[in-house]
Amino acid sequence: MSMTKKVLFLSFLFFVATGVFAMPSMFNKNGVLHFDYKAEDLAPAEKAARAQLEKDLADLIAIPADRRTFENTILGYEKAFDKYGEALGMSGFLAYVSTDKKFRDTMTDLQMQMSQYMVDVATRRDVYKAIREYTDTKPQLGPVEAKLVKEMLIGFRHSGMDLNDEDLEKFKALNKEKAQYVINFDKNIQEYKDPLTVTREQLEGLGEDYIGKLEKTADGKYLITLDYPDVIPFMQNAENEEARKALEYKYNRRGGEQNVELLEKTVTLRRQIAHLLGYKTHADLKLEDRMAKNPKNVMTFLKDLQKKLKPMGKSEDKFMVAYKNEKSGQKSRTVYPWESAYWSNKYRKENLQLDNEKIKEYFPSQVVIDGMLDLFGGVFGITFEPVNVPVWHPDVKAFLIKDKQTAAPVAYFYMDLYPREGKYKHAACFDLVAGKEKEDGSYQKPFVAIVANMNKPSKDTPSLLKHSEVETLFHEFGHVLHNALTKSKYEAFSGTSVSWDFVEAPSQMLERWAWNPTVLKKISKHYKTGQPLPDELIARMLAAKNFGNGGMYLRQNFFAQYDMTLHTADKTPDTTKLYFDLNKKIRGGSLTKNTIPQASFGHIMGGYDAGYYGYLWSEVIAEDFFSEFEKHGIFNPEIGLKFRREILEKGGSEDEQKLVENFLGRPVNNEPFLRAIGLEDK
């Protein structure tokens, strides 16, 4: 995941929420970031910054219409918000990583106030009028400047600024109502409680470590909650079919009927808002500034993939039915929803025999990191020099990235890899300071961080990574390189500030190196013997990688088509009927009767509405990118430099489709993706 910034107006909410602004006050006298902020200084700093922002906006508005320029109006607006963030420096980022609970709580509370303030600023008609006084003159601009203005105006339009006063009030009211539905939908999932009560006998197949963590009832039975850590191991390992069936039913009713109603009301409101803003559908609104451009292109993409994946999925289903019947003595024609994880896991254990705990003994984190830096340094023409600069915690390591050919400093890079109390719980890349051209003509070096939660070294063993964590590290490092190697003129297009359906492509591409046998040898060294991963183990890892891919990608395709169908419909459909019908058409098989899986489909309410397709879209691009490296050599510095120049350095400065075609020399095709998942193009 990339914690990044966008050019559109409403994205200022994120600017504020993360506190990632590239201003001089962030730096100490040596020109590097400092992290010594105090909780009691935050509110006064924000108050003063808000007053300065209001003054800067007033000055912007006061510029006579005939004296407006790109610099004093378009860039003037952006600079005003840069100043607002300057007062808080790295404090927004520290809300994710600080060990000081008081600081984290204070910043979190302040973020909410700032976000609400940004909503008001983003819908100020006087500011919009000032921008339009300039853009309505249809100025002759360079391509990058024109793209900046175009996307800024789209942001204003999405904020309702082209509406008359009466319709703007309707727009605000509909958005407030929608926001409440989204909050309640998520709240209903989080608070939904309907645990399965089982006996000790029904836990056969589960390990004692799992059983020991379960809550017990007064009569000595056990409670299986609907949380992932309870559900996934149970569905994979519990021998009792009736218990699995009961849990699967409960799990797919999370959120309850009230969430079905909230989803359908939200879809209706999104359609009404889109119509009010002049769009045919909610999907047309959301896709206007994305790589896919429109719903037709998305559906063409998804249905083409569906057609090619379907035979693979059917073959897998047939295979698993035969395996189930062989092991159970049944004569079944299907693997039911409550059986799929169980039989798949059983097959993996019996035939693929991968012990993740044994595999991670070959991946001491320092060996992996050193190998990764050396690998991608060679591919992309850079070096990583450890540096002694201020950091936010003793565990953090810092590097100066330099260009290998010129030795010129390029960016600063931090790694915060180990868990601690109050720290961000997932893995992400944070672009702390974005690269951009400064007023004096020099270039602002980016500052980028990976924040993750890998196991710490102990007295007896170093930090050891599961292969999935190695893959995650490579993925996040892709975001690091995208941010660190940028040469974008404007911060709005710096690094990962690209279209949402493209942002993951470079990082997904880097994951592919984590599956290459030569690379696996390079980044592995058993912490006791010093030996790299054995060839036989690598072969089994690669065999297991593609097991079940047909079904998995058809599932992703189904989610994407369900999302897009909901948000292009002329009227809101019965979401349950649509879910069941589309599932049968795309994935095949039947779902459990009276379940309502869409009631817990959080993505569709939480920001991925009309955007779920992006997972597959960017992965297809990533595999096509990697196919060029495969063709020319995955360690080839010339193709690496081409990727750096055409993709990483440009950020969002050009249309993403053009960037992709400049690198590939042709439009994207999905054949490399199909090969990578184990399906040769037929």
**301: number of CA atoms within 13 Å, CB side?**
28
Give the residue ranges of DSSP H helices in 89-195.
Answer: 91-97, 101-122, 125-135, 143-158, 165-191
Contact 601, 654 (CB under 8 A): no
Query: How far is residue 486's CA from residue 411's CA, in Å, rounded to a whole number?
Result: 9
Phi, psi of 498 (to 5 degrees): -125, 180
Contact 389, 412 (CB under 8 A): yes
Contact 426, 105 (CB under 8 A): no
Query: How far is residue 614's CA from residue 500's CA, in Å, rounded to a whole number?
Result: 7
Nearest Cα residue to 61 out of 149, 124, 138: 124
**Residues in the chain, total:** 682
State whether residue 207 is helix, strand or coil: coil
Contact 118, 13 (CB under 8 A): yes
Residue with tokens 């035969």: 322
CA distances (Å), origin 210, targets 194, 197, 254, 304, 356: 19, 15, 22, 42, 17
Tokens read off for 672: 């490399």
Contact 488, 436 (CB under 8 A): yes
Residue 378: partners with Cβ closer than 8 Å, 6 or more residues away: 635, 637, 640
Q: Which of 264, 469, 476, 628 is catalytic?
A: 476
Contact 412, 446 (CB under 8 A): yes
For 221, counting Cβ atoms within 10 Å of its Cβ (0-12 exposed, 13-18 middle, 19+ buried), the class is middle
Phi, psi of 413 (to 5 degrees): -135, 130
Contact 650, 603 (CB under 8 A): no
Residue with tokens 């931090």: 414
Residue 216: partners with Cβ closer than 8 Å, 6 or more residues away: 222, 223
State yes or no: is 476 an active-site residue: yes
Radius of gyration of the chain (CA): 26
Residue 303: partners with Cβ closer than 8 Å, 6 or more residues away: 561
Taking 3-state DSSP, the helix, strand and coil percentages for the chain, each rounded to the nearest 5, stand at: 60, 5, 35
Contact 98, 392 (CB under 8 A): yes
CA distances (Å), origin 441, targets 9, 314, 438, 490, 642: 26, 59, 5, 12, 25
State whether residue 36 is helix, strand or coil: coil
Please work out, in degrees rounded to the nearest 5, the angle formed at the alpha carbon of residue 171 by the alpha carbons of 83 and 161. 45
Nearest Cα residue to 4 out of 623, 677, 676, 500: 500
Tokens read off for 96: 């994710």
* Residues belonging to the active site: 476
